[in-house]
Structure 1
Amino acid sequence: MAWILLLPVVICFILFLRKKLSFKFGLSPKSLDIRPIKGLKKLSDQLEKSLSKSYMGHVEERVMKEIKLKENEYSWRLLDLKRYFILTSLLKESPMFSKKVDDLWHQMLMFTCEYDDFSKEYLGSTLHHSPNLNQSPQPDLRGFFDWVYGELFFIRMENIQLYKGFYRFPEPPNIIEEFKCLPENELIELYFRRDSQYMDTVLSLISSMKKTAKKVKNMKKASYKK
């Protein structure tokens, strides 16, 4: 009788696993699919320029050998890693919330000299790998990360797949209130890199986030969902 009771659970698990495994990545993205934030195009162009074709060719070759990927998946992982590099050039704190994107970052680090050349040309200093070692959900950090990500980039199903969803954790009301009320210089001090080479982009991003914050009517923090 016990197996009869367990049967629905097993069926649900199989259906969930099948759905997860059946996801197909779309055609390789042609660009970073950025939003019209001032200076963001210049920033993304500088990033692309910093990544030499020979370096990224070696990285792709290594990834295909080391990791089993679905069709077009490498291109989407690379897109999200590039987006993450953009976030690190703007934000004071930018945890890595995608293991699949982080895996690609690890592969880039295997080519020590090339990676050092890339990060120095892009940022002027070495872009250190900072893995997210905290296994808890970190809802406040993730909520802020998702908010900034959505202000800078268009979100496709492939991005949702790599990050296991977006906007699962609400932004804390105090942060929304800060973006409503605090001046730019105080927000920079709290959340952004003061030494960023792309301050025009930082200021434009803050302006966009202020507009979004003012649209938020319900300031009550919702309970977190798994």
Structure 2
Amino acid sequence: MKSSEPSAGAASLQAAPHAKLSSEQHELLQRLGRFSAPYLKEKLLSTGKIKSSDEYDQAFSEFKKFSALTVIYPDKSLGMVSEEIDEVWHQFILFTHQYQSFGDDILGRYLHHVPDTSETRIPDSSAQNFFQSYNEVFGPVPDIWGAHDLNQFVAASGCDASASCTGTVREGVG
């Protein structure tokens, strides 16, 4: 599968030293680290939604981390709290065949995008779930996620950051 071949810029996704992951979860991070989507990069750069190759590389890497968290924590509602990374996700979904293959071949499941609407309410805890889960697996949350001083934020109880959408993983959907 062409889109899952490593690219020159592909890097492994490393868990934080304190992360308690199974061997299968480490293998997931390795698969995600090798996964590239040059068609997505081309699309986002050509439309100006992403301004540079470096910006894309960071945003796509963080999208892959978000995707990993939805597999590692399948029973948690994880809020997508970054508009930039959400835009990467939206554009990726438009490449329907590649997106389905990404779910099947890399994640082992289809990753659903669930927007926050009156019909599909996102739990208030979804942003806090994301920040805590990210910190547990990858360490401090980078600024691209739209929050600053997140170590203090994650440690505080009662997260009030909002999430505009969430990711859920379901097996056998296609």
Smaller-chain TM-score bracket: 0.5 to 0.7
Match of 1:217 in 2: none
- Root-mean-square deviation (Å): 3.2
Contact (CA 8 Å) 1:96, 1:131: kept in 2 or not?
no
Deviations 1:140-194 (A, max 9, x none): 43223212111100336xx22333232436235xxxxxxxxxxxxxxxxxxxx9x
TM-score, normalisation: structure 2? 0.66
Larger relative helix fraction: 1
Match of 1:32 in 2: 13
Displacement after TM superposition at 1:130 (Å): 2.0
Structure 1 moving runs of 4+ over 4 Å: none
Match of 2:106 in 1: 122
CA–CA distance in 2 between the matches of 1:171 and 1:139? 13
Aligned partner of 1:57 among 38, 41, 46? 38
CA–CA distance in 2 between the matches of 1:32 and 1:78? 11
TM-score, normalisation: structure 1? 0.52
Structure 2 matches for 1:177-216, cutoff 5 A?
none
Larger relative strand fraction: 2
Distance of aligned partners of 1:47 and 1:32 in 2 relative to their CA distance in 1, 3 Å threshold: closer
Aligned partner of 2:132 among 131, 139, 147? 147
**Is residue 58 of structure 2 the alignment partner of residue 76 of structure 1?**
yes
CA–CA distance in 2 between the matches of 1:68 and 1:32? 21
What percentage of residue pairs aligned between the two structures are identical? 22
Match of 2:78 in 1: 94
Contact (CA 8 Å) 2:45, 2:52: kept in 1 or not?
no
CA–CA distance in 1 between the matches of 2:117 and 2:83? 11
Q: Which runs of 5+ in 1 are unaligned?
A: 1-27, 173-192, 197-226
Q: State how many pairs are aligned.
A: 141
Q: Which runs of 5+ in 2 are unaligned?
A: 1-8, 159-167
